[in-house]
């Protein structure tokens, strides 16, 4: 844990005027606030690590993103996939929170809840921030239309309505979870949000008819005297009615989740803040514009959960033993060869949310070091080390070279430089042993330990946990 800075004052120094009574600080040895973030381009296995660390926590909070994210957990051979519900839901005795920084599609959330109930998983511990914003049907339509319009220049979003929802939030046209509990307010807000979108939605309708015509699927004209039935997804009355029903079902879970976190932290209980996506997809600090619509970095946990900066006492970064990326955007260490195919097949590199094939490449230590500093990480967890068994020699990118030949030791801030940068590698010996049964550091082959040691030394952060298989028990803890 990072050392606490001490400020000394003379013992007889007078207190400032109107100073409040002294409030006991958190015991730093308990580390009550732990943030878990992705250290690459996402899909690093954050769900599994959150599930493991949740055993030592009382509250698990998802603080940003939407159902564009996916976490997969394997317990005793059973696979659980989450999109909105935090990974800690499998611990029925823990409070599991969807924070105010999340944008949620209520239909998707209720689908997840129903799916868990069918598998006899208790969801009575789920709490949803009343201030979280809702993804509405028009957000999904606008997201899809925007990507279609961009064509070859598309960003590669999941088309789940995430970006348009965050845009409405910034425009103060958003619909919040608490609005589901007041039909009058809900109707007024949906009408206000729909009005400025009418032109875009009309263009969308024209575009869809054009595409159907080009595909030879032009719809038949309605019979004479028959009214054209509006799309129920965009009909105000239908939308209000549907979302009021959502509100009835979700009401038992809606709460003041910021206060829930405060109470836990003030009682020196451990709270885990779980991020979605990852550092290099951050809206401000990632590979813009090929990024997500929120801030997945550690600093955003305070905003997305409603806690103070000093409530965060430790930051864990999660990285694969290699690198992957979904969608468009720069990826300096990407492999378009046989090794890349091996990583895809052996790592089962297909997106939890969309099923899209992930692009694979060597571990990029230039990018990882950037993520470590940006998040001020205290610890690293390296997942999927087992996938590298039998692949050798192993390569890690330790610097880039620009197209002009300049050596780049740091992650480039300018997108044109990054898009054309080529990595320079260090080669390390590979290992052939099957490591899925390893549970102690000493069980790992020396080459595997050397590989981990090189990563840790380069980024100057200790590796505390290593994943050696898909199941939650297939991990190696390093150190205390």
What amino acid positions are annotated as catalytic residues?
Answer: 43, 71
Q: How far apart are CA 174 and CA 145, in angstroms?
A: 20
- Name 251's bridge partners: none
SS3 content of the chain, % helix, strand, coil (to 5): 40, 20, 45
As to burial, measured by CB atoms within 10 angstroms (0-12 exposed, 13-18 middle, 19+ buried), residue 438 is buried
Tally Cβ neighbours within 10 Å of residue 345: 11
DSSP 376: T
Q: How far is CA 230 from the centre of its chain?
A: 35
Q: 90 vs 60, 79, 87, 93, 324, CA distance in Å?
A: 11, 12, 7, 9, 27
What are the helix and strand counts (H, E) for the chain? 13, 20
Residue with tokens 């120094």: 13
Burial annotation 458-480 (CB, 10 A radius, 16+ → b, else e):
bbebebbbbbbbbbbebbbebee
Q: What value, to the nearest 5°, has the Cα angle with vertex 91 and ends 86 and 95?
A: 65
Range list of β-strands (E), 275-385: 314-320, 323-325, 359-361, 363-364, 379-383
Q: Check: CB of residue 190 under 8 Å from CB of residue 144.
A: no
Helix (H, G, I), strand (E, B) or coil at 301: helix
453: tokens are: 């040691």
Give which of 75, 77, 73, 86 is closest to 112, Cα–Cα: 86
User: In the structure encoding, which two tokens stand for residue 153, read together?
Assistant: 């220049």
Q: Give Cβ neighbours of residue 258 (< 8 Å, ≥ 6 apart).
A: 100, 129, 305, 306, 307
């Amino acid at each position: 844990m990072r050392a606490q800075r001490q400020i000394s004052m003379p013992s007889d120094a007078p207190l400032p005027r109107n100073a409040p009574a002294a409030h006991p600080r958190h015991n730093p040895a308990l580390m009550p606030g732990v943030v878990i973030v992705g250290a690459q381009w996402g899909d690093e296995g954050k769900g599994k690590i959150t599930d493991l660390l949740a055993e030592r926590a009382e509250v698990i909070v998802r603080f940003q993103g939407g159902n564009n994210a996916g976490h997969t957990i394997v317990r005793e051979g059973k696979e659980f996939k989450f999109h909105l519900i935090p990974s800690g839901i499998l611990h029925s005795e823990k409070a599991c929170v969807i924070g105010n920084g999340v944008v949620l599609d209520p239909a998707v959330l209720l689908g997840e809840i129903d799916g868990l109930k069918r598998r006899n998983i208790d969801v009575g511990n789920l709490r949803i921030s009343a201030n979280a914003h809702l993804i509405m049907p028009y957000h999904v339509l606008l997201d899809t239309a925007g990507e279609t319009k961009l064509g070859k220049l598309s960003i590669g979003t999941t088309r789940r309505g995430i970006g348009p929802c965050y845009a409405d939030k910034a425009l103060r046209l958003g619909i919040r979870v608490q609005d589901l509990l007041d039909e009058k307010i809900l109707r007024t807000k949906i009408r206000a949000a729909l009005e400025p979108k009418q032109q875009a939605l009309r263009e969308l309708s024209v575009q869809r008819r054009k595409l159907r015509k080009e595909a030879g699927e032009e719809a038949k004209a309605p019979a004479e005297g028959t009214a054209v039935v509006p799309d129920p997804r965009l009909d105000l009355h239908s939308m209000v009615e549907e979302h009021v029903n959502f509100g009835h079902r979700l009401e038992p879970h809606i709460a003041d989740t910021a206060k829930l976190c405060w109470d836990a932290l003030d009682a020196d209980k451990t709270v885990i803040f779980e991020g979605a996506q990852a550092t290099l997809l951050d809206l401000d600090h990632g590979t813009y514009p090929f990024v997500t619509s929120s801030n997945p970095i550690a600093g955003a946990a305070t905003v997305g959960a409603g806690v103070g900066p000093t409530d965060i006492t430790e930051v864990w970064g999660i990285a694969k033993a290699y690198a992957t990326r979904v969608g468009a955007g720069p990826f300096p260490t990407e492999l378009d060869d046989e090794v890349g195919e091996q990583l895809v097949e052996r790592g089962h590199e297909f997106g939890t949310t969309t099923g899209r094939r992930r692009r694979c490449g060597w571990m990029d230590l230039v990018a990882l070091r950037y993520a470590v500093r940006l998040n001020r990480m205290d610890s690293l967890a390296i997942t999927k080390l087992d996938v590298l068994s039998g692949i050798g020699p192993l390569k890690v990118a330790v610097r880039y070279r620009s197209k002009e030949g300049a050596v780049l030791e740091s992650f480039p801030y300018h997108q044109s430089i990054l898009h054309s940068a080529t990595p320079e590698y260090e080669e390390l010996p590979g290992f052939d042993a099957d490591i899925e049964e390893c549970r102690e550091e000493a069980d790992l082959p020396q080459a595997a330990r050397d590989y981990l040691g090189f990563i840790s030394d380069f980024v100057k952060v200790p590796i505390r946990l290593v994943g050696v298989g898909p199941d939650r028990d297939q991990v190696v803890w390093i150190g205390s």
